[in-house]
Amino acid sequence: MKKIEMTEAIILAKKSAKMSWEALAEKVGLSTTFVTSACLGMNSLKKEPAEKLCEVLGLDEEVAITLQEYPNKTWDFTIPQDPLVYRLYEVVGVYGETIKEIVGEKFGDGIMSAIDFSLDIYKEENPLGDRVVITMNGKFLPYKSW
């Protein structure tokens, strides 16, 4: 079974079960974002949460095994096209240099890890229109000399 078939199987089962990603993640005991990314084939789950997820959705073991495989992370377009995803790319373009300046000032020369990393999405209710709040949290990795 390939990751792409796994994703299709999960989405179909999730629709039948009328479960949200949030409810599914709660059952599995991990964050919504991480569970969703694993189901979309961009991360791997450990054995236990993989099996729990399949149990909740009534999926067979092949799905659980495929969830544990290490994914090849690739995406469709070098510049994303869907408006929601493009806006995130635009933010990187507009604020990338700013982030570099401020991280440099606060931490020294280095980067924010995208591996030792988590990402969460909240809904902030607001009478002028609700707001999407995305928080990225990555370990600072200093450049070393040797």
Q: Contacts with a second copy in 89-128 (CB under 8 A)?
A: 89-119, 121, 123-124, 126, 128
31 is an active site residue: no
Burial class (CB in 10 A: 0-12, 13-18, 19+), 50: buried
> Is residue 83 within the footprint of a second copy (CB under 8 A)?
yes
| List 5, 16, 22, 55, residue binding a second copy (CB under 8 A) | 22
Closest residue by Cα to residue 20 from 4, 35, 38, 2: 35
| List 30, 60, 66, 67, residue binding a second copy (CB under 8 A) | 30
- CB 7 → a second copy: shortest distance, Å? 10
34-73 footprint of a second copy as x/- string (CB under 8 A)? x-xxx-x-xxxxx--x--------------------x-xx
Euclidean distance between CA atoms 116 and 85, whole angstroms = 22
69 is an active site residue: no
Of 5, 20, 87, 131, the active-site residue reads 87
62 is an active site residue: no
- Phi and psi for 124 in degrees, rounded to 5? -105, 115
If phi > 0 it is left, if psi is from -120 to 50 it is alpha, else beta; for residue 29 that is left
> Is residue 5 within the footprint of a second copy (CB under 8 A)?
no
Q: Is residue 53 classed as helix, strand or coil in its secondary structure?
A: helix
Of 5, 22, 90, 101, the active-site residue reads 90
Closest residue by Cα to residue 36 from 23, 51, 48: 23
Catalytic sites, residue numbers: 87, 90, 113
